[in-house]
Chain A
């Protein structure tokens, strides 16, 4: 059995456990995003979605429970990526070493109402993937698939470069509780957001442990001429090439007519 299978089985187990926990609990999370379908037009310069939600209690909820903590994880479409490092060789800077990141989110945002360290113990932080340092970013290390320690140089550079472009973010004061049970958070989407389905996972913590969780999703679609061009280039390379070549010849021909010296 390959390493990929192991990862898959592990993922199923983890998911199963995560789903098993809420049933034993009394709270329920009800959430909604302000827009389930974001259309990106050519002059789109970034926008912010709003996530609203409330914590519903029922009769079996322990009466003294009230100090809730909330962590929202937004992850965009997944893709394989390569991080390369330049080194000085023979006096010039060239790409030498590289790491492959497998099926990592192209957009990742982690929001909470207070620092992750105050919400849960380091052990829970790791298990629940709270914070950019604890999110699973699978690398291919030789024949194996594994995540590495948070301070690995390639992992750090990977997170840093994505953060610079506004694609990876972590904000431990983004979630605000309007009342003890009603909360909201903004999800900023920069101009260069990748298109696709975005999963939003909301986890409710109380006294350092996970109480319940829920999920929602939204979709980002690009519309307009630019997207049409990009899609055509990828899906119909030959037609695209022929059109481009024909356009070049047309332009050249037109110029020779317009500027003909008689």
Chain B
């Protein structure tokens, strides 16, 4: 069944979009991530312009992280104080990101920057995850318990604060900076940033695993809701029809993914996720290197009359 997307300005098959939403939802439920880094590229690959894809996926991630956040809240797996500090940075970063997005679009370099950021971020993070997962798997096979450092350089910052539910005593400076970075790349690239945020919180901020996913979902929820609003106000690129189909597919798929994820072991999960992230990054890199079908593009800059 064909459906016309009002903002993307193209007809699409509703079942294709629904299936994509469900597939990404499945993966995101399985790994406990937002799935934006998969959704945005998929939309770009089926012909939706990167700008519309990034802006519309933001609302899709807001929906899936909200349903996730609710269930984590019920299980008391969210640290409100930590979430609040992350959010002060997150909202600032999002506003900066949307502003950068608008500037790049005016310069005609937005598509390139989105592609380049994907290549850089995904290949790095994917490779790291893959490597980490591989090492963890080898460790468990050999039966070695990894040594855990109790103090890192991150604890040298001033303005320390006690985060009760996470049971950590930490400076707010690195937390705010992490929030800014995640908010910024989220708004520019159309990703929730969960797949970067969770490792940063675990390894850098030493947030216990009991509160890490729930708290990161709160950050994702707020930054993505904010990004949706800003993209709608400044660039008018949010496609509500596209977003709705993605959401419905996404939240449904996520439920099944979450069940499947519980059957796989943690390090195998990380290895798989790493491979997936790496594959998307490489796909973008190939796109940049091969000669495009058409060297010219046209964009309307303003209608008058």
Interface residues of A (CB under 8 A from B): 42-43, 77-88, 91-95, 98, 100, 103, 106, 154, 157-158, 160-162, 191-192, 196, 225-227, 229-230, 233-234, 237-238, 240-245, 247-249, 251-256, 259-260
Contacts and interface: CB of A to CB of B under 8 A. Distances in A.
B298 A240 contact: no
A80 B301 contact: yes
15 contacts: A81-B299, A82-B298, A83-B298, A84-B297, A95-B109, A95-B112, A157-B295, A158-B298, A161-B296, A161-B298, A244-B243, A248-B59, A248-B60, A248-B62, A252-B251
B114 to A, nearest CB: 12
List 4 tightest A-B contacts by C-beta distance, closest first.
Answer: A241-B232, A252-B66, A255-B251, A157-B296
Contact of A238 (B2, B232, B304): B232
Interface in B1-57: 2, 4-7, 9, 11
Given A244-B232, A245-B62, A245-B229, A251 B300 contact: no
B275 interface: no
Contact of A245 (B5, B71, B225): B225
Contacts of A252: 62-70, 247, 251
Contact of A77 (B64, B225, B228, B303): B303
B159 interface: no
A241 B4 contact: no
Interface of B: 2, 4-7, 9, 11, 59-60, 62-71, 108-109, 111-112, 116, 224-225, 228-234, 236, 238, 240-241, 243-244, 247-248, 251-252, 254-255, 288-292, 294-305
Nearest to A230: B6
Contact of B297 (A83, A88, A100, A192): A83
B301 A82 contact: yes
B281 to A, nearest CB: 14
A53 to B, nearest CB: 26
A80 B70 contact: no
Nearest to A154: B296
A95 B63 contact: no
A161 B290 CA distance: 21
Nearest to B288: A92
Nearest to B291: A93
Given A255-B254, A256-B66, 19 more contacts: A43-B4, A78-B304, A79-B303, A80-B300, A80-B301, A92-B112, A93-B295, A95-B109, A103-B305, A157-B295, A158-B298, A161-B296, A233-B6, A237-B233, A237-B234, A245-B225, A252-B251, A253-B67, A256-B71
A241 B63 contact: no
A226 B11 CA distance: 11
Given A85-B295, A252-B67, A252-B251, A244 B305 contact: no
Contacts of A42: 4
B241 A229 contact: yes
Nearest to B5: A226
A256 B67 contact: yes
Given A237-B233, A252-B70, A227 B6 contact: yes
Contacts of A244: 59, 228, 232, 238, 240, 243
Nearest to B232: A241
Nearest to B302: A80
A249 B62 contact: yes
A59 B154 CA distance: 98
Contacts of B68: 252
B70 A233 contact: no
Contacts of A225: 6
A235 to B, nearest CB: 9
A162 B292 contact: no
Nearest to A162: B298
Contacts of B60: 248
Contacts of B109: 94-95
